[in-house]
Chains A and B, each alone.
Chain A
Amino acid sequence: MKKSKKKLSKTKVRSEKKIDKVKKIKDVKHPIRTITLKFLILVSLVCGGLMFSDHQNFFNPDNINNHTLRKWNSYYDFTQKNDIDVLLVGNSHLYTGINPKNLSTALGCNAFILASPGTHVDDHYFALKEAIKISKPQLVVIETYGLKKLEPKQKSKGPLSDQFKSFSARKNSLSKITSMPSLFAVENYGYALSNTLRNHNFLYTNYDQIKKNINNDNEPRGDKNKLYLGRYIRFKTGIEDSILTKYKELGAPVNGDNYETNSLQSKYIKNIIELCESNDIEVIFLTLPMYEKHISNYDAWKSKLKETIGEKYSSDEYWIDMQLGEGYRKFTKASFESTYNSNQHMTYSGSLLATYKLVDFIQKQKRITLTNRRNDKEWIDLFYKEEGYLENNSPRKDDNENIVLYSSDSEIVKEILVLKKDKYNTLIAKVSPTSDVIANSIETKKIRVTLIVNNNGVQQSSYLDLPLDIYHSSNKKMNYTSNIKPIEILRISDIKFVD
Chain B
Amino acid sequence: MIFNSIEFAIFFPIVFLLYWLLFCKTARTRNLYIILVSYFFYGIWDWRFLILIAISSLSDYLLGLQIHKSEDVKRRKLFLTVSVILNIGILGFFKYFNFFTDSFLDLFTLFGASFSYQRLNIILPVGISFYTFQTMSYTFDIYYKRLKPTKDPFAFFAFVSFFPQLVAGPIERAKDLLPQFYTIKTAEYSKIRSGMLIIALGLFKKIVIADRLAIYVDNVYSDVDSAQGLPMLMSAVFFAFQLYLDFSAYSDIAIGIARTLGFDLSTNFKRPYLAKSFSDFWNRWHISLSSWFRDYLYIPLGGNRNGKIATIKNIMIVFMVSGLWHGAFWNFVIWGSLCGVFLIVLDKSLLKIKIGRIFNSFIIFWCWTLSLVFFRSTTLGTSVDSFSNLGFSNSEKLYEYGLNSFEFKLAICLLVGILLIEILVEKNKISIDWILSKPAIVRYVFYFSVVVTTILFGSYGVDMNDNNFIYFQF
Residues of A near any B CB (own CB < 8 A): 18, 21-22, 25-26, 28, 31-32, 34-36, 39, 42, 45-46, 49-50, 157, 160-161, 186-191, 196-198, 200-201, 203-205
Contacts and interface: CB of A to CB of B under 8 A. Distances in A.
Contacts of B188: 26, 31
B231 interface: no
26 contacts: A21-B437, A25-B193, A26-B189, A26-B190, A31-B187, A31-B188, A32-B20, A32-B192, A39-B13, A39-B196, A42-B447, A42-B448, A42-B451, A45-B448, A161-B462, A187-B6, A188-B462, A191-B461, A196-B455, A197-B455, A197-B461, A198-B461, A200-B457, A200-B458, A200-B461, A201-B461
B462 A160 contact: yes
Contacts of A200: 455-458, 461
Contacts of B110: none
A29 to B, nearest CB: 9
6 tightest A-B CB contacts, nearest first: A31-B189, A28-B189, A31-B187, A25-B190, A32-B20, A204-B407
Interface in B311-327: none
B176 interface: no
Sorting the interface of chain B by its residue count into under 10, 10 to 19, 20 to 34 or 35 or more gives: 20 to 34
Given A31-B187, A161-B462, A186-B10, 16 more contacts: A18-B437, A26-B188, A26-B190, A32-B21, A32-B192, A39-B196, A157-B463, A186-B7, A187-B5, A187-B6, A189-B6, A191-B461, A198-B462, A200-B455, A200-B458, A201-B463
Contact of A204 (B5, B13, B404): B404
Interface in B367-392: none
A196 B461 CA distance: 11
A410 B196 CA distance: 85
Nearest to A184: B462
Contact of A35 (B193, B407, B448): B193
B17 interface: yes
B403 to A, nearest CB: 8
Contacts of B462: 157, 160-161, 188, 191, 198
A32 B187 contact: yes
Given A157-B462, A191-B462, A205-B404, A46 B187 contact: no
Contact of A25 (B189, B406, B448, B458): B189
Nearest to A207: B406
Nearest to B192: A35
A149 B452 CA distance: 39
A119 B455 CA distance: 28
The binding surface of chain A is classed by DSSP as: helix
Interface in B399-426: 404, 406-407, 410
Interface of B: 5-7, 10, 13, 17, 20-21, 187-190, 192-193, 196, 404, 406-407, 410, 437, 444, 447-448, 451-452, 455-459, 461-463
A165 to B, nearest CB: 12
Nearest to A201: B461
Which of B5, B7, B407, B456 is packed against the most chain A CB atoms within 10 Å? B456
B443 to A, nearest CB: 10
B461 A50 contact: no
A200 B460 CA distance: 9
Given A35-B196, A39-B196, A204 B406 contact: yes
A118 to B, nearest CB: 14
Contacts of B451: 42, 46
A35 B6 contact: no
A187 B459 CA distance: 14
A186 B11 CA distance: 12
Given A200-B456, A201-B461, A204-B406, A35 B189 contact: yes
Given A197-B455, A198-B462, A201-B463, A31 B192 contact: yes
Contacts of B193: 25, 35
A201 B403 CA distance: 11
Given A31-B187, A198-B461, A46 B452 contact: yes
A187 B190 contact: no
Contacts of B455: 46, 50, 196-197, 200
A22 B188 CA distance: 11
Contacts of B189: 25-26, 28, 31, 34-35
A203 B456 contact: yes
A49 B452 contact: yes
A80 to B, nearest CB: 34
B204 to A, nearest CB: 14
A73 B469 CA distance: 42
Contacts of A21: 437
Contacts of A35: 189, 192-193, 196
B7 A187 contact: yes
Contacts of A197: 455, 461
